Structure 1
Amino acid sequence: MTESSEEVRPVASANLISGDIAGTAVQAGSIMGGLHFHITAAPQSATNRTVDPPTEWADLPELPPKIKSLLRAQIQAAEEMPYRLPGARRPSLSTVYVRQDVTSGTEAQPAEQGRPLPVLDSRGQLIDPHHPPVTRLAVRPPSRSMREALDEDDHLLVTGGPGQGKSTLSLRLTADVARCWQATDDRPPPLQEVVVPLRLTARELAARLDLPFFEALAATIRGEYGALLAATIQPDDLGERVGGCRWLLLVDGLDEVADTVQRDRLVSVLSTWASDSPDYRVVLTTRPIEGATLAPFQRIGSARYELLPFDEQALRRFAQHWFSDSPGAPAKFLRQLRKAHLDELVRVPLLATIAAIIFEQFDDRPLPDNQYELYETYLGYLRSAHSVPAGLPDEHCGRLLEHLGRVRLEEDTSLTTAACHWTAERLPELCRTTGWREKLVTYLTAVGPFISRGGDLWFLHHSFAEHLAATAKARLLPPEFDPGHADFVELLHAARPEDRGRYARRVLLHHTRLHPAEADALLSHLHEGEPAKHLLAARLLAWHIPAEAEAFFATATPGP
Structure 2
Amino acid sequence: MNDLAGGGGVSSAGDAGANAELSHRLRRALADKGMRQSDLAEKADVSKGTVSNALNPDKGVPSQFTLDQLARVLGIEGDSLRELHRLRAEATTDLPTQLRAYLSAAQRAAREHPYPGVLPGIAPPLAAIYLHQRIRHQARADGTRWDTADRWEDASTGTTPTPEPAPALSRTPLGSPAAPGHPALSQKVSADERLSADELLALGTCLVTAGPGGGKSSLLRTLLETGVGDFLQGLTPRAAPVLVPAAALPGRPLAGALAATVNADLSSHGLLEEIRPEFFLAPPSPGVPWLILVDGLDEITSASTRHEVLRAVTAVINGKDAEQYRFIIASRPLPDAEVDSTLGAKASRFDLQPFSFADLRQVARNWFCHFDLPDPDGVAEKFMRALTAASLADLARIPLMASILCQLHAVAPNQPLPAGRGQIYADFISLLYKRQHAAGASGVREQARVTLQRYGSNALAHTEDVLDRLPEVIARLAAGRYAGDTRATMAVVMVQAETSCPAGVPGDEWHAVLKSALQRSGLMTMHAGELVFLHQTLLEYLAARHACRSPASRARTLEKAFTHVRWQWPWSADNLGSAKRLIPRRLLIPPHGDDSSYIGFLIDVAQEQDPEATGLHLQRLAADGNIEGCRFLAEQAQLGTTIPASAARAAAETCALLASRPALRGYWRLEAAEILTRIDHHSAIDLCIGLAEDQTIRSDWRLRAAEMAADIDTGRGAPVFAALAADPTVHAGARIHAARHVISYDNEHAADLLVSLASNRDLSRESRVNAAERLADLDPTRAEGACTALLDNAALPPYLRIAILDLLIQLGDQLPEEPYEALLQDPDLDVRLPEQANEPPLADA
TM-score, normalised to structure 2, is: 0.52
In structure 2, the CA distance between the partners of 1:240 and 1:484, relative to structure 1 (3 Å rule), is: closer
Match in the other structure for 2:380:
330
Cα distance in 2 between the residues matched to 1:95 and 1:512? 36
Q: SS of the counterpart of 1:85?
A: coil
Please list the CA deviations of residues 272-320 of structure 1 after superposition, one character each: whole Å capped at 9, or x if unmatched.
Answer: 1123212112211111111432235533622211211101121122122
Partner of 1:96: 133
Equivalent pair of 1:110/1:137 in contact (CA under 8 Å):
no
For residues 179 and 361 of structure 1, the distance between their equivalents in structure 2, rounded to whole angstroms, comes to: 35
1:306 corresponds to: 351
Query: Partners of 2:588 and 2:113 in 1: how far apart?
Result: 36
Deviation per CA, 1:247-271: give whole Å up to 9, x if none.
Answer: 1221111111233322211111122
Q: Return the match for 2:257 from 213, 216, 233.
A: 216
User: 1:224-235 to 2 correspondence within 5 Å?
Assistant: 224-227=265-268, 228-235=270-277
Structure 1 residues 463 and 418, CA gap change in structure 2 (3 angstroms): farther
Letter in 1 for 2:546: A
- 8 Å CA contact 2:590, 2:621 repeated in 1: no
The amino acid across from 2:63 in the alignment is T
Equivalent AA in structure 2 for residue 55 of structure 1: S
Higher mean C-alpha deviation, range 264-273 or range 300-309: 300-309
Distance 1:388 1:544 in 2: 33
Q: Work out the CA distance in 2 between the residues paired with 1:236 and 1:536.
A: 48
CA-to-aligned-CA distance 1:449-480 (integer Å, 9 cap, x gap): 11234432122211111111122234477368
Distance of aligned partners of 1:515 and 1:394 in 2 relative to their CA distance in 1, 3 Å threshold: farther
Q: For 1:99, give the aligned amino acid.
A: R
2:253, 2:620 → 1: CA distance?
A: 54
CA drift of 1:523 comes to 4.8
Q: Which residue of 1 aligns with 2:425?
A: 375
Q: Distance in 2 between matches of 1:293 and 1:368?
A: 37
Counterpart CA distance in 2 for 1:539 and 1:61 is 50
Match of 2:63 in 1: 55
Query: How far did residue 429 of structure 1 move?
Result: 4.5
What is the alpha-carbon distance in structure 2 between the residues aligned to residue 53 and residue 510 of structure 1?
59
Which residue does the alignment assign to 1:341?
Answer: 391
1:46-103 alpha-carbon deviations (Å, 9 max, x no partner) = xxxx845741394626322222111122122223352242435434466233222223
Residue aligned with 2:409, SS? helix
Which amino acid is 1:69 matched to? A
Distance, in Å, in 2 between the alignment partners of 1:98 and 1:555 is 31
Q: Which residue, out of 146, 153, 161, partners 1:111? A: 153
Partner residue of 1:22? Answer: none
- Displacement of 1:240 in angstroms is 0.9
Q: Tell me the residue number matched to 2:512.
A: 438
Q: Is the Cα contact below 8 Å between 1:75 and 1:174 reproduced in 2?
A: yes
Please state how far the C-alpha of 1:555 moved relative to its aligned partner.
6.5
The number of residues matched between the two structures is: 484
- Tell me the equivalent position of 1:174: 224
Could you say which structure has the higher helix fraction? 2
Counterpart in the other structure of 1:266? 309
Cα separation, partners in 2 of 1:241 and 1:459, compared to 1, 3 Å: same
Q: Identify which range, 369-378 or 402-411, moves more after superposition.
A: 402-411
Partner of 1:506: 601
Indicate yes or no: 2:297 matched with 1:254: yes
Partner of 1:85: 117
Counterparts of 1:429 and 1:404, CA distance in 2: 18
DSSP-derived class of the 1:199 partner: strand
Superposed, 1:166-205 pairs within 5 Å as: 166-183=216-233, 193-205=237-249
SS for the counterpart of 1:403 is: helix
Taking a change above 3 Å as real, the CA distance of residues 167 and 494 of structure 1, as seen in their structure-2 partners, is: farther
Q: CA deviation at 1:496?
A: 4.8
CA contact (8 A) 2:488 2:530 kept: yes
How many Å apart are 1:160 and its aligned residue? 1.1
Give the drift of 1:115: 5.7
| 2:543 counterpart of 1:469 | yes
Which protein, 1 or 2, shows the higher relative CO under an 8 Å CA cutoff with sep ≥ 6?
Answer: 1
Secondary structure of 1:489's partner? coil
Is this contact kept in 2: 1:538–1:556, CA < 8 A?
no
CA-to-aligned-CA distance 1:83-141 (integer Å, 9 cap, x gap):
2424354344662332222233222445314269xxxxxxxxxxxxxxxx999965341
Is the Cα–Cα contact under 8 Å of residues 133 and 355 in structure 2 kept in the other structure? no
Q: What amino acid is the match of 2:393? A: D
C-alpha distance 550-81 of structure 1, shift in aligned 2 (>3 A):
closer
Q: Which moved more, 1:348-357 or 1:436-445?
A: 436-445
Aligned to 2:532, what secondary structure does the other structure show? strand
2:478 to 389, 405, 409: 405
Using the TM superposition, give the Cα deviation of residue 498 of structure 1 relative to its aligned residue in structure 2, in angstroms.
5.4
Change in 2 beyond 3 A, CA 1:98/1:541: closer
Counterpart of 2:332?
287
Contact kept? 1:98, 1:145, Cα under 8 Å: yes
Moved more, 50-59 or 255-264: 50-59
Q: What secondary structure does 1:369 align onto? A: coil
Q: Distance in 1 between matches of 2:292 and 2:489?
A: 28
Secondary structure of 2:264's aligned partner: helix
Matched, 1:237 2:272: no
Pair 80,422 (structure 1): closer, same or farther in 2 beyond 3 Å = farther
Matched to 1:397, the amino acid is L
SS of residue paired to 2:343: helix
Q: Distance in 2 between matches of 1:501 and 1:414?
A: 25
What is the distance in 1 between the residues matched to 2:426 and 2:295? 27
Q: CA deviation at 1:443?
A: 0.9
Q: 1:267–1:294: 8 Å Cα contact kept in structure 2?
A: yes
State the one-letter code of the partner of 1:467: Y
Aligned partners of 2:559, 2:258: CA distance in 1, in Å?
A: 47
Question: In the TM superposition, what is the alpha-carbon distance from 1:363 to its structure 2 partner?
Answer: 1.6
Partner SS for 2:525: strand
Q: In the alignment, what sits opposite 1:35?
A: none
- Secondary structure in 2 aligned to 1:408? helix
CA RMSD of aligned residues (A): 3.6
In structure 2, the gaps of 5 or more residues are 1-57, 65-87, 159-165, 177-189, 437-442, 449-462, 566-586, 658-845
Q: Distance in 2 between matches of 1:253 and 1:200?
A: 9
1:483/1:470 CA distance change after superposition, 3 Å: closer
Alignment of 1:161 with 2:211, yes or no, is yes
Tell me the residue number matched to 1:121.
none
Alignment check: 8 A CA contact 1:309 1:349 kept: yes
Q: Give, in whole Å, the separation in 1 of the partners of 2:529 and 2:431.
A: 25
Contact 1:516 1:546 in 2 (8 A): no
1:235 to 1:510, Cα distance in 2 relative to 1, 3 A: same
Q: Structure 1's 221 and 148: CA in aligned 2 closer, same or farther, altered over 3 A? A: closer
Deviation at 1:512, TM superposition (A): 2.5
TM-score, normalising length from structure 1?
A: 0.76
Q: Which whole-Å CA distance do the structure 2 matches of 1:64 and 1:77 have between them? A: 20
Mapped to 2, the partners of 1:252 and 1:234 lie a distance apart of 22
Give 1:372 deviation, angstroms: 0.8
